A and B are shown apart, each in its own frame.
Chain A
Amino acid sequence: MNTPSSASNLIEIRNLSVTFPSEAGIVRAVRDVSLDIRAGEVLGIVGESGSGKTVMSLSMIGLLAESASITGSISYNGVNLLELNDNEMSKYRGKDIAMVFQDPLSALNPVHTIGRQMAEALHVHGDYSSEAALRRAIELLEIVGIPRPAERAQSYPHEFSGGMRQRVMIALAIANQPKVILADEPTTALDVTVQAQILDVLKTARDMTGAAVVLVTHDLGVVAGLADRVAIMYGGKVVEIGNVNDVYSSPAMPYTIGLLRSIPRIDDAGSSRLASIDGAPPSPVALPPGCAFAPRCPAAAPECDASVPELVSITPSRMTACVRQTDIAGLQSSGKLFAEIPRHVALQSVTEGVALEVRGLRKTFPLLKGSVLRRRVGSVFAVDGVDLTLREGRSLALVGESGCGKTTTLLEILNMVAPEAGTITVLGRNVAELSRKQRLEMRKDLQIVFQDPFASLDPRLPIGDAIAEPLDNFGMPKVEQNQRVMELLELVGLQRDHASRYPSEFSGGQRQRIAIARSLALNPKVIALDEPVSALDVSVRAGVLNLLAELQEKLKLSYLFVSHDLAVVQHVADDIAVMYLGGIVESGPVDEVFAKPQHPYTQALLSAVPIPDPKVERVRKRIILQGDLPSPANPPAGCRFHTRCQVRATLPAEVAATCVSDRPELVLRNASLVACHAPLN
């Protein structure tokens, strides 16, 4: 591709290829990518794991591993950055081109205070005296929203929360007025309410410095809110690039079309199912000969395998890499490309039976100190006051941010022993009263699917044996076991001959299907799903979600679905329970709660979820919560949300005082239960 260089291009990447040697063969991480970064723009680079987005961005600041071999050019101000040695490059790094990493903890030096590290960065490039540098550092911390910056500058990185560290990274990045800020998954490790804060800070940083921002992410929602242009990467290549609005509203390359249709949206439950893209992203050591998407593309034709499609302009501002580009629009309108399939509609609980009921559940962990004589110095209130009701044939989503106690709740239920406090009733029976034998029997009815399918399958057990394990355990004869394993494999969309293979031979999505098959083996009535898709590639999530919906319909299952992703919840759940710091703050039917959240936390959580649609996302009003999740070892008195509550400040003094003194109970209000002294709507 030969785009004439234009004056507004800050960085011009031409024919960049990066390969790494590896055991399995040559890893072709980036393949012949040409891309411009314009002054002052926000360029989103979106791709799934392994698509090469990180490698591409790291090559711009010369931070690739030694073993990388790089060809092509990256010119900045007429200088080819690839020809610089490390020493020359370091003059640009931090000063002209700054970087914000996904994991700020590893990017900060643990033995120096935050203030000192920032002052150093300023000192190296700028003309600050060390005193002025420290002053400037404090100023920068203030800009990125660190409260009491002068004081906090004395802290060490580990004393900061993830969100605060990411703020520090942004402060460091803007310290020297860079021309380009590279941000690689800057919010992926963060909770959604904190993500909203950080994205906000990133916007401020951009406005202040006028720098171009390259935002690398797998999250289409994040890009929608922030980027001017977006480049979609797949198999080490840019497959579509253009204006954000255009790409989102009329994606042209089949992968982009599929990807955008496969992600659930929080603002729209939709009448059709999510599009699911078959298969999994290609391995960079074994890329298909032609178009990397060909093995998964519904529009693939023989010519797609002939050669790697080049990026070509289809409109002045848009380029795609697809040899069948001219046919795509036609295929799409005739429904041959990711056709819309009507969505399964929630069963109205026919029986009104209750599958699972939890009342007042509590679980505390001892907080120990000392390494030799471990003394109990307090308690972590992991779960304190959880009430849940899962009706038969429905799905109840348990949502909340990391550390709020979702998984603990789930494990307490699955342990099926009397909890520390409260009651757990499974299919009408109180688990505290079960005998050993009854408990074992009960396990048939309640099964679990874990978050990470790479950890939940025994790597040394062929999947057929893994699926047969529960059957064997309950004494089914071998022949019948075999029959059932085959049945289950087909049920979850795998093949019979997969049974004799080991988990390592499967992709994440396939493994999750295997885990689902195993959980279904004993015909359970209730399945607990702990973040079943969050460890999967974006393009395979939809497939698993659709499968879950289908199975629920077919087998009349009840799901207890734990998730932090509200868009997914919107798509799969019938009821929702929102958890904050160990307790339920609001629960009710999903439609009801999403449309009219009554608890201030629910409201903030909903507003923090980015919507993968730039038109909607940009005009949305967002509630940005203050601060981080308090520690569950030391939860705030009264309403646990009062330290961050956006509503409390607007309340009359006496109500605001009760927020601090009395813990609100869950009470029924407009079809949902809500625990707040001053509910909304």
Chain B
Amino acid sequence: MTVVQTEVGEQTSERLTRSALIRLRFFRNRLAVAGVVILAMMFLLAFVGPFFSKHRWDELDFLALLQPPSQEHWFGTSQIGGDVFALTIRGLQKSLIIGLLVAVFSTGLAAIAGGFAGYLGGKVDRSVMWLIDALLVLPSFLIIAVMSPLYRGRTWLVFVVLLAAFGWMVTARIVRSATMSLRERDFVRAAQYMGVPVRKIVFRHLLPNVASILIIDATLNVGATILSETGLSYLGFGVQPPDVSLGSLIAEGTASALTYPWLFMFAGSALILTVLAVSFIGDGLRDAFDPGSNKSKKKSKAS
């Protein structure tokens, strides 16, 4: 017998839907919850921290250049006398939002484009593939640079959209080939014969079955975006000096990591904590989506 009877006698008429089950399984996973808590604390730090800071991020203390952490400057000061605590927090604000938004947007785009292309095939598939190939061969940094006059001065959120727009193609391809094989499965056919519309088939049946690909992709994207965003800053857009991001702080601090470790350490730790928290959440989500994983549920399966 595969199913172990858990409730004795009494017949429930309650049932848990998939989303309820996923939530349940997610929050039963300690690491995942820890991830959520860490991430929440990072946000708290980033947005509430400034109110407690003794210095503003753009305030320079010419009497304290390159000072190690002290009572006055908790995380020390930079070459030009900026307060590293305030700078780190400022960077964290930007980077958290950019990292998470870009990850969610680009993975979402990959899921939708790959899912529909793989399921529908034909013309839709050909156009999506054409777009993917075109975007892959075009040097994205260059395009962003060429287009930069168009959005210079506008909010850096444009930048999020751009980063996402150039980051979804490879994953979309993977999703597409995964859905192409899923499309032939009987459960998809069953849904078709029940008259389930295309949109629902893709979102309810296909994407959940490639959830692990998507989650891994999104998780990796967070860290990668935070770091690569600096590259674009050099090209003159995104987060511009004197404004800072975790990426720029790390990039600048690395050179003096051994001599003035506080320049690098705090921003680095913030990045590591963020990435760690996100990957805990990712793992938790993956297990919550995958009924075969036993981590997030009691062992109720016998075979």
List residues of chain A with CB under 8 Å of any chain B CB: 24, 279-280, 282-283, 285-286, 295-296, 414, 439-440, 443, 447-448, 450-452, 455-462, 464-465, 469-470, 473-474, 482-483, 485-486, 495-507, 510, 515, 518, 522
**Cβ 8 A contact of B302, one of A286, A440, A443, A448:** A286
Produce 1/0 per residue, B268-303, CB < 8 A to A. Answer: 000000000000000000000111100000001111
CB-nearest residue of chain A to B291: A502
Which B residues, 93 to 126, have Cβ-Cβ distances below 8 Å to chain A?
A: none
Q: Are A496 and B12 in contact (CB under 8 A)?
A: yes
- Complex Cα distance, B21 from A440, in Å, reads 30
Q: Are A452 and B209 in contact (CB under 8 A)?
A: no
Q: Are A469 and B12 in contact (CB under 8 A)?
A: no
Q: Are A456 and B187 in contact (CB under 8 A)?
A: yes
- Complex Cα distance, B209 from A524, in Å, reads 29
- By Cβ-Cβ distance, the 7 closest A-B pairs, closest first, are A283-B303, A502-B291, A499-B15, A500-B16, A456-B186, A464-B15, A455-B186
> Which chain A residues lie closer than 8 Å to B153 at the CB level?
none
Minimum distance in angstroms from A23 CB to a CB of chain B:
10
Q: Are B1 and A280 in contact (CB under 8 A)?
A: yes
Among the 9-residue stretches B48-56, B191-199, B247-255, the one with 4 or more Cβ atoms under 8 Å from chain A is B191-199
- Complex Cα distance, B3 from A279, in Å, reads 9
- Complex Cα distance, B21 from A131, in Å, reads 69
CB-nearest residue of chain A to B4: A505
Which B residues, 1 to 25, have Cβ-Cβ distances below 8 Å to chain A?
A: 1-3, 5-7, 11-18, 21
> Which chain B residues lie closer than 8 Å to A279 at the CB level?
1
Secondary structure of the B contact surface, majority rule: loop
> Which chain B residues lie closer than 8 Å to A440 at the CB level?
195
- Complex Cα distance, B189 from A439, in Å, reads 16
- Complex Cα distance, B6 from A499, in Å, reads 13
Minimum distance in angstroms from B122 CB to a CB of chain A:
15
Q: Are A443 and B7 in contact (CB under 8 A)?
A: no
B154 beta carbon closer than 8 Å to chain A: no
- Complex Cα distance, B196 from A24, in Å, reads 37
- Complex Cα distance, B17 from A482, in Å, reads 10
> Which chain B residues lie closer than 8 Å to A474 at the CB level?
195
> Which chain B residues lie closer than 8 Å to A455 at the CB level?
185-187
> Which chain A residues lie closer than 8 Å to B2 at the CB level?
280, 283, 505-507, 510
CB-nearest residue of chain A to B3: A505
> Which chain A residues lie closer than 8 Å to B301 at the CB level?
504-505
The verdict on A485 contacting B196 (CB below 8 Å), with A280-B1, A295-B1 known, is no
Q: Are A473 and B196 in contact (CB under 8 A)?
A: yes
The verdict on A498 contacting B303 (CB below 8 Å), with A460-B289, A469-B191 known, is no
CB-nearest residue of chain B to A528: B193
Looking at B194, B211, B290, B291, the one whose CB has the most chain A CB atoms below 10 A away is B194
> Which chain B residues lie closer than 8 Å to A450 at the CB level?
186, 189-190
- Complex Cα distance, B14 from A424, in Å, reads 41
Q: Are A518 and B190 in contact (CB under 8 A)?
A: yes
**Cβ 8 A contact of B3, one of A296, A460, A498:** A498
Produce 1/0 per residue, B162-199, CB < 8 A to A. Answer: 00000000000000000000000111011101111100
Chosen A-B contacts, 25 in total, with CB atoms closer than 8 Å, are A283-B303, A286-B302, A414-B193, A443-B193, A450-B189, A455-B187, A459-B187, A459-B291, A460-B290, A461-B204, A462-B16, A465-B17, A469-B191, A469-B204, A473-B194, A473-B200, A482-B15, A495-B5, A496-B11, A505-B3, A507-B1, A510-B2, A515-B190, A518-B194, A522-B194
Q: Are B12 and A461 in contact (CB under 8 A)?
A: no
> Which chain A residues lie closer than 8 Å to B5 at the CB level?
495
- Complex Cα distance, B25 from A113, in Å, reads 55
- Complex Cα distance, B289 from A463, in Å, reads 14
B28 beta carbon closer than 8 Å to chain A: no
Q: Are B18 and A465 in contact (CB under 8 A)?
A: yes
- Complex Cα distance, B197 from A257, in Å, reads 48
> Which chain A residues lie closer than 8 Å to B300 at the CB level?
505
> Which chain A residues lie closer than 8 Å to B289 at the CB level?
460
B208 beta carbon closer than 8 Å to chain A: yes
**Cβ 8 A contact of B18, one of A285, A461, A503:** A461
Minimum distance in angstroms from B193 CB to a CB of chain A:
5
The verdict on A482 contacting B3 (CB below 8 Å), with A443-B194, A458-B187, A469-B196 known, is no
Minimum distance in angstroms from A74 CB to a CB of chain B:
29
- Complex Cα distance, B4 from A478, in Å, reads 28
Looking at B5, B185, B186, B209, the one whose CB has the most chain A CB atoms below 10 A away is B186
CB-nearest residue of chain B to A454: B186
List residues of chain B with CB under 8 Å of any chain A CB: 1-3, 5-7, 11-18, 21, 185-187, 189-191, 193-197, 200, 204-205, 208-209, 211, 289-292, 300-303
**Cβ 8 A contact of A496, one of B1, B3, B13, B17:** B13
Q: Are B208 and A448 in contact (CB under 8 A)?
A: no
- Complex Cα distance, B303 from A456, in Å, reads 19
- Complex Cα distance, B281 from A470, in Å, reads 33
- Complex Cα distance, B187 from A184, in Å, reads 32
The verdict on A510 contacting B187 (CB below 8 Å), with A460-B291, A461-B204, A469-B196 known, is no
> Which chain A residues lie closer than 8 Å to B3 at the CB level?
498, 501, 505-507, 510
> Which chain A residues lie closer than 8 Å to B204 at the CB level?
458, 461, 469
**Cβ 8 A contact of B209, one of A459, A486, A507:** A459
> Which chain B residues lie closer than 8 Å to A503 at the CB level?
291
- Complex Cα distance, B193 from A300, in Å, reads 43
Q: Are A500 and B187 in contact (CB under 8 A)?
A: no
> Which chain A residues lie closer than 8 Å to B208 at the CB level?
458, 460-461
Assuming A496-B12, A499-B16, what are 4 further A-B pairs, CB within 8 angstroms? Answer: A283-B2, A448-B193, A462-B18, A501-B3
Q: Are B189 and A469 in contact (CB under 8 A)?
A: no
CB-nearest residue of chain B to A463: B15
Minimum distance in angstroms from B210 CB to a CB of chain A:
10
> Which chain B residues lie closer than 8 Å to A510 at the CB level?
2-3
Minimum distance in angstroms from B223 CB to a CB of chain A:
27
Q: Are B15 and A485 in contact (CB under 8 A)?
A: yes
- Complex Cα distance, B300 from A461, in Å, reads 17
Q: Are B211 and A460 in contact (CB under 8 A)?
A: yes
> Which chain B residues lie closer than 8 Å to A280 at the CB level?
1-2
Looking at B208, B211, B301, the one whose CB has the most chain A CB atoms below 10 A away is B301
- Complex Cα distance, B3 from A503, in Å, reads 11
Looking at A283, A458, A502, A506, the one whose CB has the most chain B CB atoms below 10 A away is A458
Q: Are A500 and B21 in contact (CB under 8 A)?
A: yes
- Complex Cα distance, B205 from A473, in Å, reads 14
- Complex Cα distance, B13 from A668, in Å, reads 53
Minimum distance in angstroms from A521 CB to a CB of chain B:
8
CB-nearest residue of chain B to A414: B193
- Complex Cα distance, B190 from A451, in Å, reads 12
Looking at B197, B205, B291, the one whose CB has the most chain A CB atoms below 10 A away is B291
Q: Are B190 and A283 in contact (CB under 8 A)?
A: no
Minimum distance in angstroms from B247 CB to a CB of chain A:
36
CB-nearest residue of chain A to B188: A458
> Which chain A residues lie closer than 8 Å to B7 at the CB level?
497
Q: Are B13 and A283 in contact (CB under 8 A)?
A: no
The verdict on A473 contacting B195 (CB below 8 Å), with A455-B186, A505-B301 known, is yes
- Complex Cα distance, B185 from A452, in Å, reads 10
The verdict on A457 contacting B187 (CB below 8 Å), with A496-B11, A501-B3, A506-B3 known, is yes
> Which chain B residues lie closer than 8 Å to A505 at the CB level?
2-3, 291, 300-301
Minimum distance in angstroms from A512 CB to a CB of chain B:
12
> Which chain B residues lie closer than 8 Å to A448 at the CB level?
190, 193
CB-nearest residue of chain B to A503: B291
CB-nearest residue of chain A to B1: A279
> Which chain B residues lie closer than 8 Å to A414 at the CB level?
193
Minimum distance in angstroms from A20 CB to a CB of chain B:
15
The verdict on A285 contacting B303 (CB below 8 Å), with A443-B194, A443-B195, A497-B12 known, is yes
Q: Are A504 and B291 in contact (CB under 8 A)?
A: yes
> Which chain B residues lie closer than 8 Å to A497 at the CB level?
6-7, 11-12
> Which chain A residues lie closer than 8 Å to B209 at the CB level?
458-460
Minimum distance in angstroms from A198 CB to a CB of chain B:
30
The verdict on A283 contacting B11 (CB below 8 Å), with A455-B186, A459-B209, A460-B289 known, is no
